[in-house]
Amino acid sequence: MPPGRAARVVLALVLLLAAARPGLAQRAPRTATRNRAAIDMGSSGIKLLVTDPRGRTLADEKIGASLGKGIGPDRLLPKENRLRAVAALETLVARAARFGVAPGQIEVITTAAVRNANGRMTAAARRARKTTGQRFLDGDVRRGLGLSRARILTGEEEALLGHQGALIGWQGSADTVFAVVDTGGGSHQVIVGTRAAIRAAGSTQIGSNQVAEQALVAAAGGTLDVVTPKDFAEADRRMAALVPSLPIDAAGARGAVPVVTGGTAKFLGHYFRRDSVTRADIEALRAKVGALPTSARAALVKKDVTGKAFTRRTRQLLGLHAAGAAGGEYGAKLPAKLTLLLRVMSLLEVTEIHLAQTDARHALVGGAAPPSR
């Protein structure tokens, strides 16, 4: 990213944090006496985090809503997506209320699915009850559910907040340079810098949804039920065209400690029971999941690598409980998620990556100052 543009991005973020509208800058300090909550509304899942005044987690839950699913060339949110998202938000808002956090106190961020739904509202779109991301946020989310602090992040803001969240609690030198990767359903971000200062940040609108629709497909088109090694090899070749480069200058990421954050990182951490994984680990898991028909994957993704079932709390934070996707949809999407991560690792030229178990929500509730450039 050119220096001039980088400065503008940081300035924009600072202005966002300082805006009069309730937002990131108005978070209570950690010395506050009330519980805090944040919701991250992504393209695949909607996640809630509730913490107490000491920063201890009271609730961490994900519900698969597929908000970014099936958005066509009109760039509008289908009615079904909106209804799924509202139902998920209602559940999570009620859960936050049990811990004394009112809807108007919850920090809510929305990313690619809402950000990219910026098409033109036509008469046909209105008849189909489609809507833009901004209308959805203003009507269903802010007015309908009372989530007045909800906002749409730009790609750069999403990357910066993800960087903050991923490195919370990291032990090591303040001079350590990280390359933080955040892979979502509708986009992925890469940001390079220390815990205190950013060197480069970039976002691209390719996430696991696009990988599933454009790379992991049959030769004649259409979805794959069972994915063979040959299918994966072909998908990896397609990924070279779909994601030809990093959204930042690759030279700036060389030598940085690679860290992945988000839902994929959480799943891999719990599945392998480690804080880092190798390329070989990911490829082996991808082959294992792909060899199963999609209807049989739900059981696999509810257990760790040893075959031990995840606890109820783990299933909640991964979205594999009854109120979430119950494992079926997550298992169906997992090969695409892993394929995207493998491609980014190839571009970073790394064979091992660290798994962050914290994310943007932790930065939202933590009151940390924004990173500088």
Contact between 257 and 177 under an 8 Å Cβ cutoff? The reply is yes
205 domain-assigned: yes
Tokens representing residue 34 in the block: 């009330």
pLDDT per residue as tens digits for the range 210-248: 999 999 999 877 889 999 999 999 999 999 999 999 999
The predicted pLDDT at position 15 comes to 32
Residues 46, 89, single domain; the answer is: yes
Give yes or no: residues 133 and 204 share one domain. no
The two three-digit tokens of residue 151, written as one number: 């906002």
Question: pLDDT grade, residue 160 (50/70/90)?
Answer: confident
Please indicate, yes or no, whether residues 126 and 244 belong to a single structural domain of this protein.
no
Residue 50 lies in a domain: yes
The residues pairing with 223 across neighbouring beta strands, listed in sequence order, are: 217
pLDDT above 90: residue 12: no
Domain boundary among 152, 181, 206: 152
Lowest mean pLDDT among 3-12, 229-238, 299-308: 3-12
Neighbours of 98 (CB within 10 A): 11
Structural domain contains residue 11: no
Question: Strands, DSSP E only, in the chain?
Answer: 36-41, 45-51, 57-64, 107-110, 150-152, 178-183, 188-193, 198-204, 257-261, 276-278, 352-355
Q: How confident is the model at residue 323 (pLDDT cuts 50, 70, 90)?
A: confident
pLDDT of residue 9: 41
- Kindly state the percentage of the chain with pLDDT values over 70: 88
**Distance, CA of 338 to CA of 279 (rounded, Å):** 10
In a domain, 313, yes or no: yes
Q: Are residues 194 and 112 in the same domain?
A: no
Is the model more confident about 8 or about 246?
246
CA atoms of 193 and 179, how far apart (whole Å):
7
pLDDT at residue 5 greater than cutoff 90: no
pLDDT for 366: 83
Q: Which domain holds residue 64?
A: 32-152
Pair (141, 202) in one structural domain:
no
If one compares 136 and 330, the residue with the highest pLDDT of the two is 136
Indicate whether 68 belongs to any domain: yes
CA distances from 45 to 13, 70, 88, 98, 251 (A): 25, 15, 9, 21, 32
Model pLDDT, residue 258: 97
Contact 153, 98 (CB under 8 A): no
What are the phi and psi torsion angles at 242 (to 5°)? Answer: -70, -40
Task: Verify that 212 and 334 share a domain, yes or no.
Answer: yes
108/148 same-domain check? yes
Asked if residue 246 is part of any domain, the answer here is yes
Distance, CA of 320 to CA of 327 (rounded, Å): 5
DSSP assignment of 282-344 = HHHHHHHHHTS-GGGHHHHTTB-TTSPBPPHHHHHHHT-STTTTTTHHHHHHHHHHHHHHHHH
Asked if pLDDT for residue 35 goes beyond 60, the answer is: yes
Task: Indicate the SS3 state at residue 173.
Answer: coil
Domain contains 159: no
pLDDT for res 141? 97
Q: Are residues 124 and 268 in the same domain?
A: no
pLDDT tier for residue 156 given thresholds of 50, 70 and 90: confident
Neighbours of 129 (CB within 10 A): 13
**78, 106: one domain:** yes
**Alpha-carbon distance values, 266 to 34, 82, 240, 302, 353 (Å):** 27, 26, 26, 13, 13
Domain-ending residue, one of 118, 152, 186: 152
Among 90, 120, 152, the domain boundary falls at 152
Indicate if 65 and 197 belong to the same structural domain.
Answer: no
One domain, residues 204 and 327: yes
Section 347-361 average pLDDT: 96
Supply the pLDDT for residue 70: 81
35: tokens are 């519980």
Our measurement of the distance from residue 2's CA atom to the centroid of its chain's CA atoms, rounded to an integer in Å, reads: 26
pLDDT band per the 50, 70, 90 thresholds, residue 286: very high
CATH number (domain holding residue 145): 3.30.420.40
User: Per the structure, how many domains does the chain have?
Assistant: 2
**111 and 159 Cβ atoms separated by less than 8 Å:** no
Q: What is the CATH number of the domain that holds 202?
A: 3.30.420.150
Decide if 143 is inside a domain: yes
CB 184 within 8 A of CB 43: yes
107 with 180, same domain: the answer is: no
